[in-house]
Amino acid sequence: MLGKVKKGAGWILALSLAVVVLALIYAFTFYPPEYTLRVLRWGNADVYDYQKFPARTMPASTTPLPFNKALDETMVRDLFERDTAVDDLDTFLEETGTQAFIVIQDNAILYEHYFNGTDADSTVTSFSMAKSFTSALVGIAIAEGHIHSVTDPITDYLPELAERDPAFANITIRDLLLMSSGIHYAEFPFVNGDDAKTYYYPDLRDLALNQTEIDGAPGELFLYNNYHPLLLGLILERATGQSVADYLAQKIWQPMGAESAGSWSLDERGFEKMESGINGRAIDFAKFGRLFLQEGTVAGEQIIPAAWVQESTTADATFHDTYYPGWFRESLPNGYYKYFWWGLLRDGQANDFTALGNHGQFIYISPHKNLIIVRHGEEYGVDKSVWLNLFYDFATNISPNEDSHE
């Protein structure tokens, strides 16, 4: 009997090894070796990947615009600790893998702490918060006349897509911003998964232009899809005649008063990792939040069109009941998605909204309380919905500050 068990286990092991070998042969046959090696060597994406990719620098502002300080750490801790998920705020942040946690109200820092080996000068990364930056750049490019409208077919700027499949002409820039293009996207399996390809592929331009496929009608269903920011990056690059990072530095990073240089990670052909990849100090990510909190202005200057800020963060009432998948409604029953921002509805008040990145990167904005919360982390530590509920409840409970700190 024991011999049969050992023999069976041997067959299972042999079969497993054969599957692995065949998968590796497939991967190295059909994909660039540098891509396959990255997937094998680096595995799942982590917040220190910015040290591995090449990057394009975004210089600091020549006129930094720091926040004021009006520290009220006890109040912040007390409000967060009202929630049963948090017994002690600092311990909770440390144990959930948090790197930076900043609370700002009325342009003044109430709480700023760093954990797990980081400090105020540490570089943190954006992951998908980069998408919200990309959306803002689209709004600026439209205002400057580089792009005509969100209703433009993407093939007006990327005609080779229509040459490959005429159906691409039905997709608009707005469809990309809403994550509802109908372009095929599957997270798994292995190197064939679109999550891995849009993150590790050495030539993201080629990937987006020549390897995307359509399997649905645009505007019908929400599907989180990393090909969308890649295609928007190509449109921005062609429409403005600049690299996306240079355009961001010129139009947002420096005008918003960034205190330190940032960077945008690149593929091996010098194209920005549009689905992620913006790197900088946590306090400078907060300044991007300030731009949206202040309807696109800073120090009296209109950086992002106010109408674009409003359009980007307002729920679309025309979405039908089946537009969002079940997981979306289960995890965010009062949520919506608009122009690469996640929104949370409030009755009778301006909605909260957040930029959100993998492993728990947040720039959370609550306009009715003039509030910004920034969290960077090595991991979520808890479900993303827990973080959003904590931020939402904190914004609900914090008192408006009658004294402006501007």
Indicate whether 231 pLDDT > 70: yes
Residues 249 and 329 in one domain: yes
Indicate whether 305 pLDDT > 90: yes
For residue 405, what pLDDT band results from cuts at 50, 70 and 90? very low
- Structure-token pair, residue 26: 């497939």
In a domain, 402, yes or no: no
- Distance (Å, whole) CA 359 – CA 382: 10
Indicate whether 17 pLDDT > 60: no
How many domains is the chain built from? 3
β-pairing, 108-114 vs 68-69, is: parallel
Closest CA to 231 of 154, 170, 308, 127: 154
**323-346 mean pLDDT:** 96
Residue 289 confidence (pLDDT): 98
Residue 108 confidence (pLDDT): 98
pLDDT tens digits for 24-56? 666 667 789 889 989 989 989 999 999 999 999
- Distance (Å, whole) CA 78 – CA 89: 8
Residue 356 confidence (pLDDT): 98
In 39-140 the beta strands, taken as DSSP E runs, fall at 55-58, 68-69, 98-105, 108-114, 124-125
Closest CA to 256 of 233, 226, 278, 229: 278
Element at 357 (helix H, strand E): strand 352-357
In a domain, 403, yes or no: no
pLDDT tens digits for 344-401? 999 999 999 999 999 999 999 999 999 999 999 999 999 999 999 999 999 999 999 7
Indicate whether 20 pLDDT > 90: no
- HSE at residue 147, side-chain half, CA atoms within 13 A, is 29
368: domain CATH number?
3.40.710.10
Residues 186 and 226 in one domain: yes
**196-222 mean pLDDT:** 97
Domain closes at, from 233, 268, 291: 233
Residues 120 and 160 in one domain: no
Residues 198 and 267 in one domain: no
In a domain, 404, yes or no: no
The set of residues, in sequence order, having a beta carbon less than 8 Å from that of 351 and lying 6+ positions away, is 313, 314, 315, 343, 344, 345, 367
Residues 134 and 200 in one domain: no
To 10 degrees, the CA torsion angle through 138, 144, 146, 152? 60
Residues 261 and 130 in one domain: yes
Listed range (12-26, 85-99, 197-211) with the worst mean pLDDT = 12-26
In a domain, 128, yes or no: yes
Residues 226 and 246 in one domain: no
| One-letter identity of residue 115 | F
Closest CA to 62 of 255, 251, 244: 255
Q: Helices marked H in 201-280 — which ranges?
A: 204-210, 227-240, 244-248
Indicate whether 172 pLDDT > 70: yes
167-171: list long-range contacts, CB under 8 Å, 24+ apart. Answer: 167/214, 168/214, 170/217, 170/218, 171/214, 171/218
For residue 10, what pLDDT band results from cuts at 50, 70 and 90? low
- Structure-token pair, residue 314: 């307002």
Domain closes at, from 233, 253, 276: 233
If DSSP codes are grouped into helix, strand and coil, which group holds residue 43?
Answer: coil
In a domain, 211, yes or no: yes
**83-94 mean pLDDT:** 91
Indicate whether 138 pLDDT > 90: yes
Indicate whether 200 pLDDT > 90: yes
Indicate whether 290 pLDDT > 80: yes
Residues 32 and 139 in one domain: no
Location of structure tokens 């009202």: 82
In a domain, 53, yes or no: no
Residue 7 confidence (pLDDT): 57
Residue 370 confidence (pLDDT): 98
What does residue 227 show for φ and ψ, rounded to 5 degrees?
-70, -25
pTM reported for the whole predicted model: 0.94
Residue 404 confidence (pLDDT): 42
In a domain, 47, yes or no: no
Residues 298 and 369 in one domain: yes
Residues 219 and 353 in one domain: no
In a domain, 305, yes or no: yes
Residues 250 and 321 in one domain: yes
Closest CA to 58 of 262, 244, 198, 209: 262
| One-letter identity of residue 297 | T
Listed range (18-32, 72-86, 97-111, 126-140) with the worst mean pLDDT = 18-32
Element at 364 (helix H, strand E): strand 361-366
Residue 356 lies in domain:
58-143+241-397
- Distance (Å, whole) CA 292 – CA 370: 11
For residue 406, what pLDDT band results from cuts at 50, 70 and 90? very low
Residues 304 and 255 in one domain: yes
The set of residues, in sequence order, having a beta carbon less than 8 Å from that of 366 and lying 6+ positions away, is 352, 373, 391, 392, 395
Domain closes at, from 215, 233, 251: 233
In 218-296 the beta strands, taken as DSSP E runs, fall at 262-265, 278-280
